Amino acid sequence: MNFRGLRTLEVILKITERCNLDCDYCYFFNAGDDSYQHHAAFIADDTVALLVRRLEQFSREYELQRIAIHLHGGEPLLIPKARFNSICEEIRSGLAHVVDLSMTLQTNGMLIDLEWIEMFNRHGVEVGVSLDGAKVHNDAHRRDHRGRSSYQATVRGLALCQEHLHREPMILAVVGENFDPKEIYEHFRHDLNVRHLDFLLPDLNHDNFRGDAEAYGDFLIKIFDMMVKDEESVSVRFIDHFLARIYGHGNFLFGARRGDPDYLLLTVSSDGGVGPDDTLRSTTYWSGYEYRDLKSSSIEEIIRDPLFHEFEYFKKTPASACSDCCWREVCGSGQPVHRYARHNGFGNPTIYCQGLDKFYTHVVKYLALHGESLERVGADLI
């Protein structure tokens, strides 16, 4: 693997590996991988310091331009506030003078208070709040370990962020096949006054998907239709990314980045183990991957691991079944986790293929009907 063209490194940093919720669709705790049970509940300060040194060394050697650190869990706000503050200070002091550094945090929002928000503002941490819709939608999957609703506590934390954060928070919702997208969109926009949204497809694969792919496409189409009719300015990230892709500007789609030579993603566990895309925990592929340890391996050595290299190859290579599809260069066969099957790995189209085809076609037809140049979009996409 050639690192000389690498410009952006994303790091999913597991600062906690415990959670105050028991979401039934969670890829981290409830998809068959129990490695978290053998990891520290909270990442150690010396692990963060070592990671920062490794990243600084790698950035200087290969002239990286950007590092994005995503503070994840579990629920990251379970970590003591003083520890969180020292983590952010360590990351900023070690990397901000070397690369264009950004930090984000994904939380269920239940523990957010003004002290947390002050730290987010001080360290420039952008916040995403996980919420699947109104109480009836959120309670379907996002309950605590005693089966109690998380909705009110999440909405309370969201409201504090909306009032006091320097940058507006984003809501991240998992698409529910049987949910009414109109109800969800209107709840976010009109009841909660959220202007930045994103929707993720469930982290399933060919071995465990039993749903209706077209139903997911219909959900996304309805979200698009409501967004374009919205009288206020609103950002829906998966739509923004798709539009960027079809115009040749972006490389993200549905929470993942298509494989390209200037970008790489790492996941760092709370015990300092490093591996590829964290969502692969929901596949049998993950069981064959042995984390490399930061204590004994450089970033370069970690990335050169054969299984890591194999995964990067498949991320860059659409399935052969997609060779004649007009969406091939936009979709790239979908996210790796959605392409996976036990019998042939990642050599498949996404499980959501029919639904995404329907969504892509709907959006491009809308653009054409509203005066967008087909030459600009690409005439072969309709």
Distance CA 320, CA 177 (A): 28
Per-residue model confidence as pLDDT tens digits over 41-74: 999 999 999 999 999 999 999 999 999 999 999 9
Question: 24, exposed or middle or buried, with CB in 10 Å at 0-12, 13-18, 19+?
Answer: exposed
* Token pair 């605590």 in the structure block, residue: 144
Total-model pTM: 0.93
Q: Which parts of 261-314 are beta strand (E)?
A: 263-268, 273-275, 292-293
* Residue 80 vs residues 44, 112, 209: alpha-carbon distances, Å: 12, 12, 38
**Which range is least confidently modeled, 38-52, 108-122, 165-179, 283-297?**
283-297
Per-residue model confidence as pLDDT tens digits over 98-145: 999 999 999 999 999 999 999 999 999 999 999 999 999 999 999 999
* Token pair 């653009």 in the structure block, residue: 367
Is 194 within 8 Å of 163 (Cβ atoms)?
no
| CA-wise closest residue to 222 among 359, 331, 357, 330 | 359
Q: What is the pLDDT of residue 380?
A: 43
The domains located in the chain, with CATH, are 8-314 (3.20.20.70), 318-376 (no CATH)
